[in-house]
Each structure stands twice: as structure tokens, then as C-alpha cells.
Structure 1
């Protein structure tokens, strides 16, 4: 099976022959905390890693494992670790690579909570975050030094919708001996083949496109097997024992295990179902976003529309090459001021006033007063988040209904 949707629907061959006992078309949900063993020797072997087995659902669970296997079949890579949220995936990876006295070079246009994690939550623990313009190769190169542990960016920044040259940044990072971490939430592994573009670690908030109808929270860490983990001081000891599997073993046996941000089995089941229709929903979302962006360009109240699918976007051609001719489901537009944005949002009848992105429903928010509210006006200005910005996450409804709702709200 080679087609994306075929693999998404059918998945890889079952890892456990017991699943075939009743001819199940869906994997079962293992809502259990612990697992019984036939002998003390068997449980000892499981805890020591001598024998692969599930011992405690905070570490591994059969339903979560099935979800991870299906993601790996679609995204590629050496292995996948599924966690409780996208932010859990980010924080777990940073803790696996960084530490006191080291630094992470990150894009200046990251999602607000990611910036808060790097700049505020982890700062007291001695980790420095260096925020740079990822479209400026010289600035990125200047920020990397002997204490840099990773280069971190998003495939499409949210909500600025900046697109960076991933292959060029991967080449730069590898030349300096550091891994490239790509948050691929906005495009997923369906549109953006992160490993093929040079990313070493791919992160995805499976809360978004993968869960589908905003049914469940989750996050993914995908190790694409490109980086020599013996070059990472934090993982060097693991690399001596486990070679190319060092990161995955460190996550399972130490970092994610000790942090405890495990994905619930029921959420893993819901997101396994979401994978089956991922391509269909992403395609429709992208089509709607493109049509909405083009429609908004013709509205007199709208000062500017930002969407990578528009020829006016500075990264339009780069996005076309990197994302397989699609441009994601998020767009922004500028109105006169905050009051104009609030008036527009309050008049919407169909489109939901709600945070989250890549739901089946179209969602709209005012980023400055919501997901960036903890930052000062000056900080928001530097991040490119204006008082007049409205963010639209296009869903899969009929375009005419979305267009008409926006038109009446702008009138």
C-alpha cells in the first residue's frame, strides 16, 4: 500500500495477532492502568527492557501504541511517541535535549504558548531561548554557538503565517552539529514531509487536524532518524547504549515517563479514527482557506489579507514547493482596530468564536486579546500580532455559507 489515504484507512499490519480473533475492523480501547504478568521474572524483564511488554499506561499502552504505529506508517521516521498534548510534546523534547547553561535557537514568530514555555517557564531552570528571524539565514547562523542544543521553528507560524526554507535551515543546523525541530501542526505530515526536508524531530499537535472534530487533545513526537544523538550532550550516554534509538529510549525510559504527560487510551482511539479522514479534511480546509483569502481581498473594510496561497505572500512559491501545492487552513486579515475586530466577531452567525485551529468547524478569534494576551503591546508588535488582526481557521463547511457569514459580519 503506497497511497496516503489507503495507508491512513487500513494502517500497518496488526502488531498483535489477538486483534484478529473477532475480525475487528477497529482496534480495541485498552482503558487500563496496569497489566498483569504470569510470573515475577516476566514483569522484571518488562521493567528492565529485556522483553517488550506493557507494564503501566503512563509509559506505554496498547491503544496508544497502535496510534503511534499508524502515525509512523504515514509520517515515516524511526519512531513515534504520543503524548497528552502538543505542548507536552514540545516541552518533553526540549527537556530531552536542553538543560541549564544551554540554549535553543527558535523562530521569533512562534505560537504564543511556545514562546511562553521557552522564554518564561524554562528560563528559571537555566535554559536560554534565542528568538531570531528564521527567514534570515545569517541571523540564525549567528545565534548558534557551542551551547546550542536545537533549532526550533514551525512549518507555518501561527498566526503570522511565515514560511521558512526548511531544507536550507536543516543544512545550516546539521553543519553546526545541532538537530532541527519542526512543529508541523499547521500542515501535518500530509502536506509537509518534514523528514524529507531535513527535519530531525517533527512535532504535531494531534489535537488539530488529526483529531478531526476537535474531539480530543494530544501531541506527537516523531524521530526521523537523521541525527547522530551522540552529538547531543544530553543524550550522549543513551547513544552509547542504544545508538540511533537514543532519543526514543530517553523519552520512554526517562523524560516522558517521569513527566507523566501520557496520552489517554480513549483519546488515542479517537485520533486513530481521525487519521482515516485526515487527507480529505485537510484538502477541503485548504480549498476553503484559499477561497476565503481571495474573497477577503475584495472587501473594502479589510486592509490586508495574509495567506501563503496568495501570490502577494512573500513566501508563496516556497510554500508551494514545501507543502505539495497546498497552503494550510489558516489565514489572517487586518481590520482598522481592536473594536472593529470585536464588532466583526460578534456579528458572526455560523463561524464559531473559539480558539483552536484545524477543526472541522471554521473558527475565528482576535489573537492579540486571546492567545497572545499575556504579552505587552510592544511584545506583540515585535511578534507581528497587531490589534487589528483576525485569525480564521477554515473548516470543511460549504464555502458559500462561510463567505456569506463573513460578508454580513463585515457589512
Structure 2
């Protein structure tokens, strides 16, 4: 089956007692067993059966199975947020004395996790220019436990060569972990580019209308010990499993992901093309973008629904935001609605100017997440806000 069909028709692990077509919400904690032996087998993972909803729930399992079928992954584990997916994955590879090679171009909390939280536990973050392959190679040594990167950075819109980085990392037996939130996993084949594990904020494209928090760890099985630690150590010991309510909403979102994404990506490209005539636009789907060819090679013909524009000052950005009428002033990405935010004063608001400069997060940048509204209405609201900036 094609992916759109697979998203809808992946069967339950166990048939529903009532033949429900939509996955039920199993809003319960405990599960009964036929006898003591079955109970022991379930708890020790000798059979596929839920034992306790903190680590396995049929509604969540159904979502995991659908994502597994769509991606060809060996394992998929659902967490209660994108940051939980990232932190559990990095904790699965890291330990005192190890280092993680990454970039300054990361989402603010991801960078803080690497440089502050994990640092307290003796893990070094080696932040390099991942466009410079020599710098990547020089940074990896016998204590490197992972290379971590975003497939399109937020909000710098940088695209690194995943295959080239993976070749360098794998030669030294180091896994590559990629945050692929910006481009849906239904649009890519990152395994073929050498990515070992994808982490995804399913809060974004999957939930669709900004209805629920979630994260996914999509493990291609090339480093088996990582899944064992994620699934049978950290999930049990840290308790960050996705809730059945969130899994239900995100399963519904998964069924419509393809049609929504195609509309959002098309809207983003059209808006970027129109805005490119009047303001500085950064969108990897534009042919004159420095990462256009690489993005097309790695992600296909679509380039996601996030773009940025740069104005003349922070004050101009604030005036622009304040004059928006339909576009919402809000965080989050890939909602059904178009959203706008000033990253430097919000998502990165607790970083110093020196840190912002190191991350290439400018005070002049507005990030736009393009939604499902009529593209003409999105553009009209942005243009009217731009037109009033100097008034």
C-alpha cells in the first residue's frame, strides 16, 4: 500500500473486542491476565501484551505501529513531548566522560539540554559547524556517543549533508540522531541517508490543529543497544510515555497528515515566492536558497511549512507582529493556523546576546509557520502588516 493508505489501514496488534474502526481510547492503568504465567511473560516482554499503562497502552501502541509501518523502523516509542523524545534518546547514548557532536544551530531547549543539563552529568557538547565536514570529523573521537542535528534548523533554516555526516560518523561507529520535525517522516527516507534514529515532535504535523503534545523515537535498529535503553530502561525509570488521549488525537492526525502537509507546504512555497519580492525571505524551497539543491535531494520536492523573514530591526518585528489580524502571534509549528513569532525574544529569550550571535539567531527575524488557510488570505495579512511598519 502507499503511505496514505498505510497511515489509515495498519491493523491493531490485537483485534478490538467490538470491531471499532477508529482506535479506542484505553483510558485505564492496569490490564488483566489469564494466569500467572501470562502475567510474567508480559512483564518480561516475552509476549506482546500491555502490562501497565505507564510503559504500554493499546491506544499508544497503535500509533507506534502505524509509524513503524510508515517508516520501516525497527522500533518506535511514543513520548509525551518532543523534548522527552530527544532527552530520552540522548540519555540512552550518553554517560559521564562521553561527548555529543552537534551544532549551535538548535532549538533553544535542545541546546540547553546539551550545554546545561547533560553537562552537569559529565557529558560534553561539542558544538561545531556541521556544514564543515572536516570540523565534524575532527570533533568525533573515541568518546563520542552520538552526532545530533536538526534536518532543517529552527530558525536558521540550515541544511547539513546527512549522508556525508553519517558516513563520517559510521566509520567511527558513532550513531547519527536527527530531529526531523520540520519535514514529516512520510516525506523522507532518512534511513537511506544514514540516519540511525529520528526524533520527532509529534505535537507539530501529527496533531495538526495543535491539539496534543507528543514525541516519537523512530529507531532503525542499526545500534540495537539504544532501543533497549530507551524502551526497557528510560521509559520505565523516567515515566515519560505518551498518554492514550494524546495518542488517539495524533492517530487521527496521522490519517490526514499527507493531505494537510501537501497543502501547507504548497502554501508555504507560494507565500515565500510572493514575499521574496518585498522582504528578505529564508525558505529552502526557493531555488536561490543556498540549501535548495541539498534539500531537494534529501527531502524531495517539498520543503516544509516553516519560513523566516528579516526586517530592519527588532522594533520593526514587534510592529509587524502587533499589526497582524488573521495570523496568530503564537509559538508552535505546523498548526492548522498560520503562526508568527519573534524567536530571539521568546524561544531564545533567556540567552545572552553573545549566545544569540553564536547561534545566528537575529533580533531582526520573524518565524512563520504556514497553515491551511487560503494562501491569498495568509499573504494579504502579512503584506498589510509589512505595509504599516513605517507608519
TM tier, smaller = over 0.9
Long gaps (5+) in structure 2: none
Q: In the alignment, what sits opposite 1:192?
A: 188
Q: Distance in 2 between matches of 1:13 and 1:214?
A: 26
**2:323 is aligned with 1:339:** no
Q: Distance in 1 between matches of 2:228 and 2:380?
A: 52
Q: What do residues 269-323 of structure 1 show as CA deviations (whole Å, max 9, x unaligned)? A: 1101100111111111111111111121222xx3x21110112211111111111
**2:6 is aligned with 1:7:** yes
Q: In the alignment, what sits opposite 2:282?
A: 306
**2:387 is aligned with 1:405:** no
Q: Distance in 2 between matches of 1:287 and 1:52?
A: 41
Alpha-carbon deviation of 1:55?
1.1
Q: In the alignment, what sits opposite 2:27?
A: 31
**8 Å Cα contact 1:366/1:390 also seen in 2:** yes
Q: In the alignment, what sits opposite 1:281?
A: 260
Q: Distance in 1 between matches of 2:150 and 2:182?
A: 8
Q: Distance in 1 between matches of 2:87 and 2:12?
A: 31
Q: In the alignment, what sits opposite 2:114?
A: 118
SS in structure 1 at match of 2:69: helix
Counterparts of 1:3-402 in structure 2, within 5 Å, are 3-10=2-9, 12-17=10-15, 19=16, 21-225=17-221, 227=222, 229=223, 244=224, 246-299=225-278, 302=279, 304-402=280-378
**8 Å Cα contact 1:362/1:392 also seen in 2:** yes
**8 Å Cα contact 1:207/1:219 also seen in 2:** yes
Q: Distance in 2 between matches of 1:410 and 1:36?
A: 61
Q: Distance in 2 between matches of 1:50 and 1:274?
A: 32
Alpha-carbon deviation of 1:213?
0.6
Alpha-carbon deviation of 1:36?
2.0
TM-score relative to the length of structure 2: 0.97
RMSD of aligned alpha carbons: 1.2
Q: Distance in 1 between matches of 2:372 and 2:48?
A: 41
Alpha-carbon deviation of 1:54?
1.1
Q: Distance in 1 between matches of 2:258 and 2:84?
A: 25
Q: Distance in 1 between matches of 2:245 and 2:370?
A: 27
TM-score relative to the length of structure 1: 0.92
Q: Distance in 2 between matches of 1:141 and 1:247?
A: 22
**8 Å Cα contact 1:184/1:192 also seen in 2:** no
**8 Å Cα contact 1:91/1:117 also seen in 2:** yes
**8 Å Cα contact 1:8/1:276 also seen in 2:** yes
